[in-house]
Amino acid sequence: MRSLLLRREVSCVEVVGACLQRIAQSPLNAFVSVCPERALRQACAVDERIARHRAGMLAGLAIGVKDNINVRGWKTTCASRHLADYVAPFHATAVRRLLRQDAIVLGKTNMDEFAMGSSGESSHFGPTRNPHCLERVPGGSSSGSAAAVAAREVWAALGSDTGGSVRQPASFCGVVGLKPTYGRVSRYGLVAFGSSLDQIGPLTLSVQDCALVLQVIAGHDPHEATSSRLPVLDWQRELDRGISGLRLGRPAEYFQPPASAEVRDAVDATLAQLVGAGAGVEEISLPHTDYAVATYYVTCTAEASSNLARFDGMRYGARSAANDLDETYVATRTLGFGPEVKRRILLGCFVLSAGHYQAYYDKAQRVRTLIAQDFARAFEKVDCLVTPTAPTTAFRMGKRTVNPLTMYLSDVYTVSASLCGLPAISVPCGRDANGLPIGLQVIGKPFDEGTVLRVARAVEIARGQR
Q: Which residues are catalytic?
A: 66, 141, 165
- Which residue, 7 or 315, has its beta carbon nearer to other proteins? 315
Stretch 369-398: interaction string toward other proteins, x if CB under 8 A = ------------------------------
Q: Which of 361, 379, 408, 447 binds other proteins (CB under 8 A)?
A: 361
Per DSSP, helices labelled H in 7-88 are: 12-25, 36-51
Q: Which is nearer to other proteins, 354 or 405 (CB)?
A: 354
Stretch that binds other proteins, among 76-84, 162-170, 260-268, 416-424 (CB under 8 A): 76-84
Query: From the list 153, 161, 303, 374, which residue makes contact with other proteins (rule: CB under 8 A)?
Result: 303
Whether the bond into 141 is cis, omega within 30 of 0: yes
Stretch of residues binding other proteins (CB under 8 A), selected from 138-146, 206-214, 354-362, 386-394: 354-362
Q: Out of 58, 69, 116, 367, name the contact with other proteins by CB under 8 A.
A: 69
Bond before 258 cis per omega within 30 degrees: yes
Instruction: Give the separation between CA 393 and CA 390, rounded to whole angstroms.
Output: 7
Q: Does 265 participate in binding other proteins (rule CB under 8 A)?
A: no
Q: Does 419 bind other proteins (CB under 8 A)?
A: no
What separation in angstroms does the CA of 389 have from each of 12, 119, 176, 422, 441? 35, 14, 11, 14, 5
295 contacts other proteins (rule: CB under 8 A): no
Distance CA 348, CA 293 (A): 15
Distance separating alpha carbons of residues 195 and 193, to the nearest angstrom: 6
321 binds other proteins (CB under 8 A): no
Burial class (CB in 10 A: 0-12, 13-18, 19+), 113: buried
Q: Which range, of 82-90, 203-211, 380-388, 406-414, touches other proteins by CB under 8 A? A: 82-90
Are 212 and 346 spatial neighbours (Cβ–Cβ below 8 Å)?
no
Is residue 174 a contact partner of residue 147, using CB atoms and an 8 Å limit? no
Q: Is 316 in the site for other proteins (CB under 8 A)?
A: yes
* Binding string, residues 207-246; x marks residues near other proteins by CB under 8 A: ---------------xxxxx--------------------
Length of the chain counted residue by residue: 466
**Nearest alpha carbon to residue 420 among 182, 166, 117:** 182
- Could you give the CA distance from residue 96 to residue 217 in angstroms, rounded to a whole number? 9
Does 301 bind other proteins (CB under 8 A)? Our answer is: no
> Does residue 334 interact with other proteins by CB under 8 A?
no
In whole angstroms, how close is the CB of 316 to other proteins at the nearest point? Answer: 8
Q: Residue 165 or residue 387: which is nearer to other proteins going by CB? A: 165
Q: Is position 310 an interface residue for other proteins (rule: CB under 8 A)?
A: yes
State in angstroms the smallest separation of the CB of 276 from other proteins: 43
Q: What are phi and psi of 259, to 5 degrees?
A: -65, 130
Among 191, 239, 263, 452, binds other proteins (CB under 8 A): 191
Determine contact, residues 455/274, Cβ cutoff 8 Å.
yes
Among 35, 55, 58, 78, binds other proteins (CB under 8 A): 78
Contact, 407 vs 186, CB < 8 A?
Answer: no
Q: How far apart are CA 452 and CA 464, in angstroms?
A: 19
- Helices marked H in 174-291 — which ranges? 207-217, 235-239, 261-276
Instruction: Assess 73 for contact with other proteins (CB under 8 A).
Output: no
Work out how close the CB of 90 gets to other proteins at its nearest, in angstroms, rounded to a whole number: 6
Q: How many Cα atoms sit within 13 Å of 132 on the Cβ side?
A: 26
Q: Is the dihedral of CA 272, 278, 283, 285 positive or negative?
A: negative
Does 115 interact with other proteins (rule: CB under 8 A)? no
Interface region with other proteins, contact rule CB under 8 A, candidates 32-40, 131-139, 166-174, 192-200: 192-200
CB of 77 to other proteins, least distance (A): 10
**Does 188 engage in binding with other proteins (CB under 8 A)?**
yes
Q: How far does CA 165 lie from the centroid of its chain?
A: 4
Stretch that binds other proteins, among 20-28, 302-310, 397-405, 453-461 (CB under 8 A): 302-310
**How many residues of this chain bind other proteins (CB under 8 A)?**
44
Question: Which residues here bind other proteins, judged by CB under 8 A?
Answer: 69-70, 76, 78, 83, 86, 88-90, 92, 187-192, 195-196, 222-226, 302-303, 305-306, 308-312, 314-316, 325-326, 329, 349, 352-354, 357, 361
